[in-house]
Amino acid sequence: MVGAGHLGRGVDADDRRWSLVTSGRVGLDALGRAATLSETCERVKPRLLDWLQCPWCGGSFSLEPFPGSDPADIDEGLLRCSCGRVFPIVRGIPRILADAFALHGDFVARHRDRLPASMPQPDSAEPHADAIRSTRESFGYQWTRFSEMVVDFRENFLQYISPVDERFFPGKLGLDLGCGFGRHIYNAARFGAEMVGVDISEAIESTRVNTQGMPNVHLVQADVYHLPFRPGVFDFAYSIGVLHHLPEPETAFQRVVSLVRPGGSVFIWVYSNSRRFLNFALESVRAVTTRSPTPVQQFLSFVGAAIDWSVFIAPYRLASRVPALGALARRVGPARLKVYAEYPFQVVYADWFDRLAAPIRFYYDERAMRGWLERAHLDRTTISPTGLFGWRAYGERS
């Protein structure tokens, strides 16, 4: 087991420190503290541009802020590449997707006269274009509907990233691939890392709200198969609950690994295939639900969550709090119940929506995980289960 004491490099990059983190002011109380933004933001956005490159040609971007945007904290503008591609910055987030303008019609309407006459179009030969689009739409809906940080998810994050713990983060530059509504990037930033969150879907808007006022969080809307970062720029990268939803999960994993510097760390969490019967039953149901309209998916998810809650989670929760019974319940209870017992119904409902609506789900055994780590040439690897429902995999770049 790799211990957190020797994971990756320690804090060695003075230029990666920033006053708020070292003075311990970033945290729960940073949320919504608009007053601190003006004094801190100017060091954030230009740094993000240093790490970016055009995913299609590898070139640097030139920045064109729109009038009204603070040049040091750009709210709206364009990123231009010498290959001719142009990408919008909308609500302070670079949108580096082939169809970025089509997705942000409001931006196009407001700035039509500043935009190129012909907009870049998605490549029709793009492999898996339909799967990527339907996954984006499903999660865009999910994480804007279930966007609230109902709890701070600290323990949840620590559970997914073991053997890494909070001592790993201070002073490092990290990537959260598929940041969803921002629960994990929020904690990674709170633990002291400077973080870049990437998500392909509208979920990124929820991360923006949930990390508002945190000067050490940067966001980019992008696709894992066209990541807009310089190779080796990050000290670490993680992806929690994302890769198994992609059309080519291992390829996506390799893309993420390539962004981490030699000696840097990569950690992921994916679904396990240990619950063969349950997974088979779920996939049979999903054959119908993934093809159903969103309101039907929402209704069925609510029903699934309500049954799960009343038959399993609530009784476990009750039993675990009864003095005589509690220790036994905690010892024999399945890992998933221990997790859900800590959260409100909303989290269970969101996970049921994920289960029934996400277009793609892959399940893995330990051998498959081992193969991923080996083929990515990672050192100091560990693989550990989270109950029967998932695998954590960790490695360092050689």
Is residue 180 close enough to count as binding ligand SAM by CB under 6 A? yes
Residue closer to ligand SAM (CB basis): 77 or 180: 180
- Applying CB under 6 A, what is the total number of residues that bind ligand SAM? 23
Binding at 132: pick from ligand SAM, Zn ion, none (beta carbon under 5-8 Å per type): ligand SAM
CB of 88 to ligand SAM, least distance (A): 18
Which residue of 28, 57, 281, 285 would you call a contact of Zn ion, by CB under 5 A?
57
Residue closer to ligand SAM (CB basis): 126 or 166: 126
| Exposed/middle/buried for residue 179 (C-beta within 10 Å: 0-12, 13-18, 19+) | buried
Say how far apart CA 194 and CA 381 lie, in whole Å: 24
Is residue 81 close enough to count as binding Zn ion by CB under 5 A? yes
Binding at 201: pick from Zn ion, ligand SAM, none (beta carbon under 5-8 Å per type): ligand SAM
Residue list 131-150, contact with ligand SAM (CB under 6 A): 132, 135-136, 139, 143
Place of tokens 């679904």: 271
Distances (CA, A) of 96 to 76, 87, 221: 14, 6, 6
Is residue 348 close enough to count as binding Zn ion by CB under 5 A? no
Is residue 203 close enough to count as binding ligand SAM by CB under 6 A? yes
Question: What region, left, alpha or beta, does residue 139 occupy, with left being phi > 0 and alpha being psi -120 to 50 degrees?
Answer: alpha
Which residue of 83, 119, 288, 328 would you call a contact of Zn ion, by CB under 5 A?
83
Residue list 248-287, contact with Zn ion (CB under 5 A): none
CB of 360 to Zn ion, least distance (A): 29
Is residue 116 close enough to count as binding Zn ion by CB under 5 A? no
Is residue 207 close enough to count as binding ligand SAM by CB under 6 A? no
Span from 74-82, 122-130, 152-160, 173-181 in contact with Zn ion (CB under 5 A): 74-82
Residue closer to ligand SAM (CB basis): 88 or 180: 180
Nearest residue to ligand SAM, scored by beta-carbon proximity: 180
Span from 34-42, 49-57, 330-338, 363-371 in contact with Zn ion (CB under 5 A): 49-57
Binding at 199: pick from Zn ion, ligand SAM, none (beta carbon under 5-8 Å per type): ligand SAM
Binding at 80: pick from ligand SAM, Zn ion, none (beta carbon under 5-8 Å per type): none
Q: Which residues pair with 63 in a beta bridge?
A: 79
Edge-first strand listing for the sheet containing 217-222:
61-65, 77-81, 86-90, 93-96, 217-222, 194-199, 173-177, 234-240, 260-271, 390-397, 378-386
CB of 198 to ligand SAM, least distance (A): 6
Residue list 241-280, contact with ligand SAM (CB under 6 A): 241-242, 245-246
Q: Which residues bind Zn ion (CB under 5 A)?
A: 54, 56-57, 59, 81, 83, 85
Residue numbers at the binding site for ligand SAM (CB under 6 A): 132, 135-136, 139, 143, 178-180, 183-184, 198-201, 203, 223-224, 240-242, 245-246, 354
